[in-house]
Amino acid sequence: MSSATVSASGQPPLSKNRLLVTSGLGWMFDAMDVGLLSFILAALKADWGLSAGQMGWLGAINSVGMAVGAMMFGMMADRIGRKQVFVITLLLFAIASGLSAFASTLAVLMVLRFFIGMGLGGELPVASTYVSERVPAHERGRIVVLLESFWALGWILAALIAYFVMPRFDKDMGWRVALILGALPAVYALYLRRKLPDDKPTAPPSAGLPWTARLARLWSAEHRRATLMLWVLWFTVVFSYYGMFLWLPSVMIGKGFALIKSFEYVLWMTLAQLPGYFTAAWLIERVGRKFVLVVYLLGTAASAWAFGNASTEGMLLLFGALLSFFNLGAWGALYAYSPENYPAQIRASGVGTAAAVGRLGGLLGPLAIPYLGAQGWSTGAIFALFAITIAVGAAAVALLGRETKGGLAVA
């Protein structure tokens, strides 16, 4: 988009850097909430005496909401616009997060986590689609990967809250204060409503196209290969990510580290996400989306296997850092790659439905560790399963994916 372009509302356009930061802060708040959940799970186990199964369902219900939100808001974004849905989803998850701080029972907390998940699941694919449509083709991949890098900032912020804020309160109040902080994005959403430019007027509208027709078009001869590839890719990546990262503090505790010490280690591992994003952003416009995705996914698989079999503190930190590096670099490439596989009329619907399928993996992932652990699986065996799953996603990209470097689909 040139600097002379004016949005449909008459607003002057944001520069690509301001667009990146403005949208990225919303992304950061999303990540902060997901990150806080991983730390809150460990705290709730001590506070409410939750079983491993209850903890798993609390993490899984978040993914159920994300699946519903990704599908519903992705379809909605193709009808009423990306910007409006971006703001709506940010408000939804922020308000629900604030209310969850006052939950007194597990059932109430799970209902609110469902709505938090709806907001999160809807915002992420819509925000990446919105940004990808507003930057030049030659730097689109880099900008979207950098947008995804704000996820690491959100996790770092969550780890800092868990390490410095939560311990300052008694065990019943620490996690509640953390959730109240999670409501701050509601204020930011109101700012976004005024500052973000409206959707590009050149984007073909699909307001008259029913959602069933858009869903059918995803599986037309023209798009079915891309849709199959993206659904497999999203499922495997989300299944492994939420299965591994939501349980990192608990896994560290299971290996003999104290609660606060495990938070500290996860913070150091999380810092490794940033170079993962930045290297992926640098490579994606040089060697292409497919290469970056396949290499970073295979790096994730190898790191997951090594982390699950680590036996010393140094090995846990090293392979945990590598796991963060490769996995989040792959996430950045995933968000850059997905919108480029569809034309504008079904772009948000395509990304939203792929993300929804992924969130089904996010439902199963958090349940896998307590279930398989109860069946006698070791941590090494469970992380080997995650490694194999990620390798399947890499194979889907290598065999079915097409290189989209250079532009969005237009037909």
Give the confidence band of 7 by pLDDT, cuts at 50, 70, 90: very low
Residue at 366 is within a domain: yes
Q: CA–CA separation, 159 vs 270, rounded Å?
A: 8
Residue in 109, 15, 129, 130 with CA at minimum distance from that of residue 61? 109
User: What is the per-residue DSSP string for 111-132?
Assistant: HHHHHHHHHHHHHHHHHHHHHH
**CATH code of the domain in which 355 resides:** 1.20.1250.20
Burial class from Cβ neighbours inside 10 Å (0-12, 13-18, 19+) for residue 387 reads: buried
Tell me if 60 sits within 8 A of 355, measured CB to CB. Answer: no
List the structure tokens of 349: 């619907």
pLDDT at residue 59, rounded to an integer = 72
Residue at 5 is within a domain: no
Tell me if 201 sits within 8 A of 81, measured CB to CB. Answer: no
Residue in 34, 76, 66 with CA at minimum distance from that of residue 356? 66
The set of residues, in sequence order, having a beta carbon less than 8 Å from that of 8 and lying 6+ positions away, is 198, 199, 201
Q: CA–CA separation, 112 vs 120, rounded Å?
A: 12
* Alpha carbon 356 to its chain's center: 12
Residue at 60 is within a domain: yes
If you average pLDDT over every residue of the chain, what do you get?
81
Domain of 298 in residue numbering reads as: 16-193+212-400
Q: What is the pLDDT of residues 200-232, one digit of tens each?
A: 544 445 555 677 887 888 999 999 999 999 999
pLDDT at residue 129, rounded to an integer = 82
What φ, ψ does residue 5 adopt, rounded to 5°? -70, 140
Residue 163 gets which letter from DSSP?
I
Answer whether residue 404 shows pLDDT above 90. Answer: no
pLDDT at residue 409, rounded to an integer = 47
Answer whether residue 12 shows pLDDT above 50. Answer: no
Answer whether residue 254 shows pLDDT above 80. Answer: no
Residue in 265, 274, 309, 311 with CA at minimum distance from that of residue 42? 265
Answer whether residue 253 shows pLDDT above 80. Answer: no
Number of domains within the chain:
1
Residue at 327 is within a domain: yes
Q: How far apart are the first and last CA of the chain?
A: 20
Which is higher by pLDDT, 208 or 341?
341
Q: CA–CA separation, 61 vs 366, rounded Å?
A: 10
Residue at 204 is within a domain: no
Give the mean model confidence (pLDDT) for residues 237-253: 78
Give the mean model confidence (pLDDT) for residues 153-158: 84
Residue at 126 is within a domain: yes
Among the listed ranges 9-18, 69-78, 88-97, 141-150, which one has the minimum average pLDDT value? 9-18
| Residues of the chain above pLDDT 90, percent | 22
List the structure tokens of 179: 């959730």
Residue at 44 is within a domain: yes
329 vs 4, 60, 113, 399, CA distance in Å? Answer: 33, 24, 27, 20
Give the mean model confidence (pLDDT) for residues 232-260: 77
Residue at 352 is within a domain: yes
pTM of the model: 0.77
Give the confidence band of 3 by pLDDT, cuts at 50, 70, 90: very low
